[in-house]
Amino acid sequence: MERNIAIPGDVVSDNIKMSGSGTYVHGDTVRASVYGLLNVGERYISVIPLAGKYIPCASDRVIGIITEVVYSNWIVDINSPYEGLLHISQYPRRIDSENMSKYLKVGDCILTMVASVDAGMKVELTLREKELRVLSNGRIVTINPTKMPRVIGRNGSMIRLLKSEIGCNMFVGQNGRIWINGSDDCIDLAIQTVKYIEDNAHTPGLTERVQAFLKAKEKTRYGKVHESRNDEE
Amino acid sequence: MSDDVMAEIHRDYLFNLVLKGERDDGRAFDEFRDISIETGVAGMAEGSALVTLGDTQILVGIKIQPGEPFPDTPDVGVIITNAELIPMASPEYEAGPPREGAIEIARVVDRGIRESKAIDLEKLCMIEGEKVWIIFIDIHVLNNGGNIIDAASIGSIAALLNTTLPAERYGLGEDSPLPVRDIPIAITAIEFGGELILDPSLEEGKLAGTVYTVITNSDNGISGMQKSGVEPLTIDQVMRVVDMAGTAAAKIREKFLEV
Amino acid sequence: MSEKPEHFIIDGKRLDGRRVDELRSVKIKLSPLDRADGSCYIEWGRNKIMAAVYGPRELHPRHRQNMTKAVVQYRYNMAAFSVSDRIRPGHSRRSIEISKVGRDAFEYVVFTKFFPKTAIDVFIEVLQADAGTRTAGINAASLALADAGIPMRGLVSACAVGKVDGEIVLDLMKEEDNFGEADVPVAMAAGGKITHLQMDGHLTRDEFYEALKLAKIGCDKVYKLQRQALIEKYSGDYAENGEDAITQSEGDADE
C-alpha cells in the first residue's frame, strides 16, 4: 500500500492554486518537490518531508550551542546549515564586551529566538524575549527538524500529553533540538518517547500509539520501583 | 557544524553517568557493541570483509599482486596498509589524501598484523630479491560510529582469512589461500572521568582525554600498542587495559570461528 | 582481462541470458548509513555502490559559496579493491570527469535556490565494479538525495545502452563494455529530459537514435525500481527494521 507517500516529480494536483509547501507548479500541474507524506488540505496540497535540515525563519524559537565568542557577538550553532549570531546587545542585560565569555562561553546552551534572517541568510538571534534564557541543567535530544510538528502535535496536543504523562519540563525548539528537564527517570522516558515519535512520524494515529507506548513503559517503570522497594526490605 | 562543539550540559550528563558506573547506551565499561562480520562482500578483491561494530561500518578489501621486495627484506612478501576516511562516512571527513588520523589508523592496524606475524611472509617470496607477493590492505570506512581502529583491525584480519593468492591470474601457478596463522585483534579503551571504557562510541570518543589501543594475539601475547590523545595514563591504568583487551579480544576471536 | 567472446548474442540471448532490452538484476536499500543525511546502497548486476548525501550544509571555503543558491558537489570514487588490478586510492582523471558529469546530471533537478551559500554533497563509493558504475551511481545518488529530503523537480534515472554484434542493447555488462562497438551512458529526469549523456565507440545516426529510444525505455524501468524502493521504505514496519544494507541485501534477492 502506498500510504500516501509522495516522490519528487509526482503530480499531486491539476489545480495550480492548490500548490502548498513541498510542491511546485509545472505547466498546469502541481508536483511534489520532496519525498514525504502527501497532505491534502482544503485549500492547499502539501508534501511533508521526512528528512531535511532546519532553515531558520524569523520568530522561530530554537535551542543553540555557543561555538565561538567573537567581538561583540556569540556565534551559535542552531543545527542548521546557517549559523546564528547573538549580538551582545541581545543578551538580557547590559554587559561589557570584554567579559562576554563570563556570561556565555563555548559549549553553553541557550533557548533563543530568531530575530531576523536577511537575504544573505545572516541569522540574528535574541535572548530578549519572555521564556528565552541560558540552559544550565537538563538534557538536550536532537531529532530531525522535519519531524518536529509531530512532537508538538495539533495545537500543541502531543507536547502537552508528554509533559503531563511523563511529568517533566520540555521545550521544543523548531530546529530539532528538544530540551528536557526533570528527574533522571523522567528525562530518560521523555527521550525514549521523543525517539519513538521520530521513528513513527510517518504513521497514522500517532497520539494513540504514543499513549500506548507510555502505558507500556509505565508498567515497567512501576515494576522497577516495586522491585527496588523489595530490595530495601 | 553541530559536531564541533558538544553542549556543556551534555558533557556533564555523560560525565555524571560515568561516575555512576553507567554509559549512555547502557553498556558496561568493558562491553563491546554488537559485532557482525561478513566476508566476501567485494567480489573483485582477493579477500574482503564488512564489519559492523554498533553504528560503525567498515569494508576492508585485500588486493594482491606480484612485485619487488624491499631491498632490506629481499626474501619476504610485502604488506601495505591504507585507510581511507572517505567523506561519506562522517560530516567531519573531507576528501583528499589521508591525513594524520587515517594514517594512524592504518599504521596501528598494520602493526598488529605485521608484528603478530599473522601472515607467513616468507611463504610469499617467489624469487629472492626479485619477486614477492605484495598484499594491499585497504580499509574503507563507510560510517563512522566510533572506535574505527578496532573495527578496522577486526575487518582486516577477517578479510585476510578470506583471501586467495591470485597466482593463476599472473601465470604463477595455482591459486591458494593466503597463509594466515594468527588472529591479532586491536582493543581500544578511552580514559574518561578516571574510568577506562572499551569500544568507545562516537560521542565517548570525543570526550576522551586519551585513547589507548592494545593488540593481542591468539596466545594472548601483545603485538602492538598505541596511545593517542593528550591525557596521561598510569601504569595501573595501562595494565588494566591490557587485561581487559586480552579478555575482549578472546571473545571477538570466537566470532571468527563462526564466520 | 578475459578474451573477446565470438558472439555476444546467441538466439536472442546475451552472455548472461538477458534479452537485448533487459536490465541486470537490481537491488536497492535506502538509508543504510546513519551519519549521512541521506543514503542508498545499490547492487546493479555485480556492481556494488554506496551513495551518501550530506547537506545542505555550510560550504567551506567561503569564497566557493554562491549567494543565490546551493552548490552541488559530487564525488565519485572507486575503492582500491573494487576492480581486478588494485587502483591507487584518491582522485584520477577518470574519477574527476565522472564526478563532474555526475554533478551536472543533477543540477537541473535539485532546487538549489532554496539554500543559498550552502553545499549539497553527494558521495559515490564504488565498492565492486562491473561496468556501468557511473549510471548505477547516479541512480543511487538520486535516491540518496530524496532520502535526505532535498527538494527536487523529480528523480534522475540512468542506464547505459550500447552496441554488440551489430545490435543495440540495454545495460552493458563487463564483456559487452570491454569489447562492444559502442557505449552510451544516459540519465534522464521526468519527461525524458536528458541530464547526462556520454558516448564512445561507433554508431550511425540511426543506430544512435535507436539507442536513445532504448535508453528511454531503460530509464523508465529504472524509475519504477527507484520509486518502488522509496515507497517500500515507509510501508510496513520499516522503523523497527533499520538493519545494515549490505548484509541484508544479500539475502533479499526477490524483494
Q: Which of A74, A102, A135 is the last residue of a domain?
A: A135
Domain total of chain A? 3
Mutating which of A62, A77, A144 best tests the B interface, going by the most B Cβ atoms within 10 A?
A77
Strand-pair partners of A140: A179
- Residue C83's SS3 state is coil
Same domain? For A124 and A194 the reply is no
| One pLDDT digit (tens) per residue for chain C, 255 residues | 567 899 999 999 999 999 999 999 999 999 999 999 999 999 999 999 999 999 999 998 888 999 999 999 999 999 999 999 999 998 888 999 999 999 999 989 999 999 999 999 999 999 999 999 999 999 999 999 999 999 999 999 999 999 999 999 999 999 999 999 999 999 999 988 999 999 888 999 999 999 999 999 999 999 999 999 999 998 754 333 333 333 323 333 332
> What residue numbers bound the domain in which B78 lies?
27-258
Residues A125 and A144 in one domain: no
SS3 of residue C184 by DSSP? strand
Give which of C2, C86, C3 is closest to B67, Cα–Cα.
C86
Give residue A100's domain range. 61-135
Tell me the pLDDT tens digit for each residue of A123-132. Answer: 999 999 988 9
pLDDT, greater one: B8 or A231: B8
Among A7, A10, A85, A122, the residue to mutate for chain C (most C Cβ within 10 A): A7
H helices of chain A, where? 100-103, 148-152, 157-162, 184-199, 206-232
Say whether both A9 and A33 belong to one domain.
yes
Tell me: do A105 and A127 sit in the same domain. Answer: yes
Mutate which of C41, C53, C86, C133 to test chain B, going by most B C-beta atoms within 10 A?
A: C86
> Is position A184 within any domain?
yes
Buried b (16+ CB within 10 A) or exposed e, A33-72: bbbbbbbeeeeebbbbbbbbbbbbeeebbbbbbbbebeee
Residues A127 and A145 placed together within one structural domain of the fold: no
Q: Which of C32, C46, C80 sits opposite B63 (nearest CB)?
A: C80
Q: Is the Cβ pair B2, A66 closer than 8 Å?
A: no
Report, as an integer, the average pLDDT of A40-49: 92
DSSP assigned state of C49: E
**Residues A215 and A156 both lie in one domain:** yes
Q: Please tell me the distance in Å from C74's CA to the nearest CA on chain A.
A: 18
Q: Is C121 on the interface with B (CB under 8 A)?
A: yes
Please check whether residue A231 lies inside any domain of the structure.
no
Quote the cell numbers at residue B160.
585476510
| A180 and A121 part of one domain | no
Nine-digit cell string for B91: 560530516
pLDDT of residue B255: 86
Query: Is A3 a residue whose pLDDT tops 80?
Result: no
**pLDDT band for position A221 (50/70/90)?**
low
Nearest to B5 among A65, A81, A140 (CB): A65
| A87 in any annotated domain | yes
Residue A179 included in any domain: yes
**Shortest alpha-carbon distance between residue A229 and chain B (Å):** 20
What is the average pLDDT score of chain A? 90
Chains that touch C (3 or more CB pairs under 8 A): A, B
Q: How crowded is residue B230: how many other Cβ atoms within 10 Å of its Cβ? A: 7
The answer to the question of residue B6 being in a domain is no
Complex-level ipTM: 0.88
Give me the CATH number covering residue A70. Answer: 2.40.50.140
- Is there a contact between A116 and A151 (Cβ–Cβ < 8 Å)? no
What mean pLDDT do residues A63-78 have?
A: 96
Same domain, yes or no, for A215 and A147? Answer: yes
Residue A171 has pLDDT above 90, yes or no: yes
Residues of chain B whose pLDDT is less than 50? 1-2
The three-point CA angle A37-A43-A49 to 5° equals: 20
Q: Which residue of A has its CA nearest to B8?
A: A107
- Residues from chain A that touch C114, judged by Cβ atoms under 8 A, are 55
Structural domain contains residue A209 = yes
The subunits that touch chain B, with at least 3 C-beta pairs less than 8 Å apart, are A, C
Asked if residue A154 and residue A123 are part of one domain, the reply reads no
Local confidence band at A1 (pLDDT 50, 70, 90 cut-offs): very low
- How many pairs of residues across A and C have Cβ atoms under 8 Å apart? 88
Cβ-nearest to B44 among C50, C83, C90:
C83
Question: What CATH number should be reported for the domain holding residue B208?
Answer: 3.30.230.70
Q: Residue A142's closest CA among A181, A94, A165, A174?
A: A174
Q: Hey, what amino acid is at B36?
A: S
Q: How confident is the model at residue A2 (pLDDT cuts 50, 70, 90)?
A: very low
Q: Are residues A37 and A94 in the same domain?
A: no
Cβ of A109 within 8 Å of Cβ of B11? The answer is no
Query: Chain C residue with minimal CA distance to A25?
Result: C153
Amino acid code (one letter) for A142? T
CATH class entry, domain C9-236 = alpha beta
Neighbours of A118 (CB within 10 A): 9
Candidates B64, B249, B37, B32; CA nearest to B138 is B64
Mean pLDDT of A101-126: 95
Determine how many CB atoms are found less than 10 A away from the CB of residue B58. Answer: 27
